[in-house]
Structure 1
Amino acid sequence: MSKTIWIVVANRVTARIFAAESPLGAIDEIETLLHPQGRVPDEDLVTDKPGRTYDRVGPGRSASDPDTTQHEHEATVFAGEIAQMLTKSRNEQRYGTLVLAAPPAFLGALRKAIDAQTRSLVTLELDKDLAQFDARALRAHLPERLVRAEA
């Protein structure tokens, strides 16, 4: 198994993968995934108006809200794409441990999308949007040690 640590920093538009060879070492960017649909306004992602419902009493009608917004749907789709890439890379033994950093809602979507075997390699999670930082600036925002010390 690889000793490489992958740091995945993501939001609903961008996922950047950085690698480190040691828990205290420098990091280098190795891959970027983009999902531009995460940036498009909801009204441009949906072609139909919301469904209409009838009131139980009287002649009124009102628009019904979908259970999830289109942005939430796009975030779930992108989290699934990231999860597939992480599974494939795990099977190719490109990394041995994972660090995940994403805004809270997207981090939740990633947790749901990642399979149990890949999830077992996650040693650290940060609920912050760090996707805009280059490798040097990102390293300054991460803990000194990229993996938790073994107890």
Structure 2
Amino acid sequence: MEMDLQTAFTPWASLWGGVLIGLSAVMVMGLFGRIAGIAGITKGFLGAFVPTAGAPRDRDWRLAFLIGLMAAPPALMLTGGTVSQTVPSNLVGMAVAGLLVGLGTALGSGCTSGHGVCGLARLSRRSVAAVATFMGAGFATVFVLRHVLGGA
């Protein structure tokens, strides 16, 4: 049985999204001297309320960054753009996946944005290893799900 799985090809939206991500990473580094990794930003923000070892206390810019992340889709919709998203119906699978991502973020000392965008730009060997690991795991997962198990 042959499956027809298509992924939308959106080069211009992807290009501008990448430009904005890079610009925000440069701004966070230039203005605050910090890495624009979402896991670290969130941990630092939560550390202002829930004391954790080594958590920074500079929550204001972190709050602004997180609000900006959440405000972007509604802002796009207000300007006439559309936001389409599909959510799988397998809530158990989503919960397991979320826990595995959180575990990987903790074990890898950062998330995809911190290592992939900022760490690679700084030529960090640790980030190269982290990106190679999560990209390899992603490739393997897609291959197994689509070609071995035959699902979407």
Structure index of larger Rg: 1
> Larger RCO: Structure 1 or Structure 2 (Cα < 8 Å, ≥ 6 residues apart)?
1
Greater helix content: 2
Greater strand content: 1
